[in-house]
Amino acid sequence: MAKISLIPLVLLIVIGFAGTALADSITGSTVDWQYYAYGAAYTENGSGGTSSGSFVVPCMSCGNFDGYFLIDSSANSITFDYSVWAGSLVSWASSALSLTPEIYNGIDLLFSGGPAITSVTVDPATNMAGFSASNVYFTGNEIQVDWQDLPFSSSTIVTLDVNGTTVPEPTSLFLLGTGVVGIGLAAWRRKKT
């Protein structure tokens, strides 16, 4: 009677379960946002918008900052759409440092309940003159965007491509460990006989 090796089957099952715990999407993240300017959190409300809020990714028109821009989010991006701005071409004002380490005049996005942020890049669709990667700071759960002295109009778009990685859940780690132990036992039994 031929012996059937369980090693390939166990490996496939373990890799399959462990792989499902990882993702590059920020879908499901709760994002709390706050605008900062003039040395502190910006609290003035006007033009039909607010200076802070919260949303769950993905969503369209997730927030309206004081009538300047809308915030949109998708599985892998955050977009600041200035189409709600009714004024002419202007620039964001100069400001003292408003939030360490990066914001002088800009927005802070704090992520929770989703994957850790592993990369943030400026999407080629971004058309704010002078805006670059140096205007963006990120950690595992926060993105700071600073556009001090940069111009904007109702046709301005700033899009950030965001990727994250979910830490494997304890169940996945258990399955991975069980699979490795199973492979070790199968190899030991094979060597013994």
Q: Render pLDDT for 24-38 as a digit per residue (tens, 0 to 9).
A: 899 999 999 999 999
Task: Determine the angle formed by the axes of helices 7-20 and 170-192, rounding to 10 degrees.
Answer: 170
Residue 163 amino acid letter: N
> Do the beta carbons of residue 142 and residue 109 sit within 8 Å?
yes
Percent of the chain whose predicted confidence (pLDDT) is above 70: 75
Asked whether the predicted pLDDT for residue 188 surpasses 90, the reply is no
What are the tokens at 39?
A: 């040395």
pLDDT computed for residue 45 by the predictor = 64
pTM over 0.85: no
Q: Mind listing the pLDDT tens digit for each residue in 40-80?
A: 999 876 666 789 999 999 999 999 998 899 999 999 999 99
Report the chain's mean pLDDT, rounded to a whole number: 84
Return the number of other C-beta atoms located less than 10 Å from residue 190's C-beta: 11
CA distance 32 to 86: 26
More confident residue, 7 or 149: 149
